[in-house]
Amino acid sequence: MKILLTGATGYIGKRLLPILIGQGHDVICCVRDKNRFYTPKEFEKNITVIEVDFLKEETLKNIPDDIDAGYYLIHSMASSKDNYDELESTSATNFVNRVNSTNAQQVIYLTGIVNDDSLSKHLASRKNVEDILNTGTFALTALRAGIIVGSGSASFEIIRDLVLKLPIMITPKWLNTRCQPIAIRNVLEFLSKSLLNPLTYNQNFDIGGPDILTYKEMLLGFAKAKNLKRWIYTVPLMTPKLSSYWLYFVTSTSYKLASALVSSMKVEVVCRDTRINELLGIQPMSYKQALSLALIKVGEDKVVSSWKDSLASGRFSTNISEYLKIPKKDCFIDRRKKEIINREYTIDKIWSIGGESGWYYGDWLWGIRGFIDKLFGGVGSRRGRTNRHEIHSGDVLDFWRVLYANKEEGKLVLYAEMKLPGQAWLEFKIINNTLYQAATFKPKGIWGKLYWYSVLPFHGFIFNGMLSKLIK
């Protein structure tokens, strides 16, 4: 069968793709920017990649007519725009209009549990998208999930950050709100087993694990899994804004995502029933089991996808391709080079930079820069990286975004997502056994120039020290 997969570069899409291919399907992957999509060689013959922006109706013509079914995995909860609900509505409407004219029998939509009359803006928007998708000529299957627990999921990363960093927590009262978490592995089971299954047509289902827990119990459950003692006290004084700042400064989440999560976490998300479990023959695992699997994946460095790699986790509002060509005019450039001793060693060091490996020289200064960025509303350096030794275009590296990564060529290009009075690139490339390193800054006005000269004294030993560490 030919399956349309939207959100192919997202947290769910990246994990669903190999499952669909394993089932023998040909998958049409919809992406806004082909440069962000990494295709493993073993999947190439079963994948077709098309560029589609669902906010631009004219791009939807790239979707072929002969698709059999589709997945709608698009949402904008962490969007930097306040009108993300309008954008989600437009995307869904454009999607329906195009898919109506194809051969698609079914569309599967992963959304949130909405069993409460008073919904957050985020959940209300997701329900509105479901209503729009229901107007299509295809059969809609809506799978409604609460908190998704898995390595790299936003929920898991936030829980991990809070528990590992705060032995004692003074928390908002919404930590007593109940929810029904579900393992990412089970979410993928529901998504794949619902595909072209007439028993699921024109219905919505709540999907969740067997445990109904408060957010406080989830935090304590993680602490127990890590053999840590943690004390949590809830207070009624924290406003939604204060709660959002609390999440923003302690965890790696963006402020927009923190605000959306706080708004949603005040609403109970508990399944109405579990009839789909029997319908599809799925027995969801417990929260404890889901945590155990996630921790194993993190420990083995086998995190398939992470919410941090979404463009919404940073400052990008356009395709990364637009930043690939590094400017030279009206720019400040710090260029350095050294002859390499062992090409393979140097490339491995470059591909492991950032995250837990650090920046090899002056890490405390990189840390201070990340903290300052966080204070001014930037991404900071807490995002780390999804994989310790592998990186691809579109991935996150602390407060950088990977624009280009080619091991065979020996070239890596990063773009700064920190708050700056201008734009910054960091480039590494190997040519004829010489490693070239260039930091390029395009200032914006007088403040940009002052910023460059203020950090210039640190460049000498930071960049030179880093270059030396990459060599030997």
Are 212 and 360 in the same domain?
A: no
**In the prediction, which pLDDT does 413 show?**
96
Reported as half-sphere exposure (CB side, CA atoms, 13 A), residue 131 has a value of 10
Are 231 and 129 in the same domain?
A: yes
**In the prediction, which pLDDT does 84 show?**
73
Q: How far apart are CA 126 and CA 107, in angstroms?
A: 15
Question: Does some domain include residue 307?
Answer: no
**In the prediction, which pLDDT does 76 show?**
63
H, E, C per residue of 336-383: EEEECCCHHHHHHHHHCCCHHHCCCCCHHHHHHHHHHHHHCCCCCCCC
Are 101 and 245 in the same domain?
A: yes
**CATH code for the domain of 461:** 3.30.530.20
DSSP letter (8 states) at residue 32: S
**In the prediction, which pLDDT does 312 show?**
60
Are 236 and 365 in the same domain?
A: no
Are 384 and 441 in the same domain?
A: yes
Question: Does some domain include residue 319?
Answer: no
Residue 399: domain span: 326-471
**In the prediction, which pLDDT does 268 show?**
85
pLDDT per residue of the chain (472 residues) written in tens, 0 to 9: 999 999 998 899 999 999 999 999 999 999 988 888 887 788 889 999 999 999 999 999 999 999 999 999 987 654 445 677 788 889 999 999 999 999 999 999 999 888 766 666 777 888 889 999 999 999 999 999 989 999 988 889 889 989 999 999 988 888 888 999 999 999 999 999 999 999 999 999 999 999 999 999 999 999 999 999 999 998 887 777 777 877 888 887 777 777 777 777 778 889 988 899 999 999 999 999 999 999 999 988 888 888 877 766 555 556 777 888 899 999 999 999 999 999 999 999 999 999 889 999 988 888 888 888 888 878 888 788 888 888 888 899 999 999 999 999 999 999 998 989 999 999 999 999 999 999 999 999 999 999 999 988 888 888 999 999 998 8
Q: What is the DSSP string of 408-448?
A: TTTEEEEEE-S--SEEEEEEEEEETTEEEEEEEEEE-HHHH
**In the prediction, which pLDDT does 82 show?**
67
Question: Does some domain include residue 96?
Answer: yes
Task: Answer yes or no: are the C-beta atoms of 75 and 110 closer than 8 Å.
Answer: no
Question: Does some domain include residue 306?
Answer: no
| Residue after which a domain boundary falls, among 265, 300, 335 | 300
Q: How far apart are CA 265 and CA 119, in angstroms?
A: 10
**In the prediction, which pLDDT does 99 show?**
96
Task: Answer yes or no: are the C-beta atoms of 17 and 8 closer than 8 Å.
Answer: yes
Question: Does some domain include residue 308?
Answer: no
Question: Does some domain include residue 446?
Answer: yes
3-class secondary-structure state, position 11: helix
Q: How far apart are CA 54 and CA 74, in angstroms?
A: 9
Q: Parallel, antiparallel, or unpaired for β 106-112 and 69-72?
A: parallel
**In the prediction, which pLDDT does 2 show?**
96
Q: What is the DSSP string of 207-226?
A: E--S--EEHHHHHHHHHHHT
Question: Which residue type occupies 135?
Answer: T
| Residue after which a domain boundary falls, among 232, 266, 300 | 300
Are 337 and 377 in the same domain?
A: yes
Q: How far apart are CA 342 and CA 339, in angstroms?
A: 9
Are 19 and 86 in the same domain?
A: yes
Are 337 and 418 in the same domain?
A: yes
Q: How far apart are CA 426 and CA 413, in angstroms?
A: 6
Q: How far apart are CA 215 and CA 265, in angstroms?
A: 8
Q: How far apart are CA 112 and CA 156, in angstroms?
A: 17
Are 226 and 332 in the same domain?
A: no
| Residue after which a domain boundary falls, among 260, 284, 300 | 300
3-class secondary-structure state, position 404: strand
Are 158 and 259 in the same domain?
A: yes
Q: Parallel, antiparallel, or unpaired for β 213-214 and 178-179?
A: antiparallel
pTM attached to this predicted model: 0.89
CA distances 295 to 149, 285, 299, Å, are 11, 15, 6
Are 405 and 447 in the same domain?
A: yes
- The domain total for the chain is 2
Q: How far apart are CA 143 and CA 120, in angstroms?
A: 18
Work out whether the CA dihedral 43, 188, 13, 53 comes out positive or negative.
positive
Question: Does some domain include residue 289?
Answer: yes
**In the prediction, which pLDDT does 362 show?**
86
Are 6 and 128 in the same domain?
A: yes
**Cα 289 to chain centroid, rounded:** 23
DSSP letter (8 states) at residue 267: S
**CATH code for the domain of 190:** 3.40.50.720
Question: Does some domain include residue 305?
Answer: no
Task: Answer yes or no: are the C-beta atoms of 202 and 106 closer than 8 Å.
Answer: no
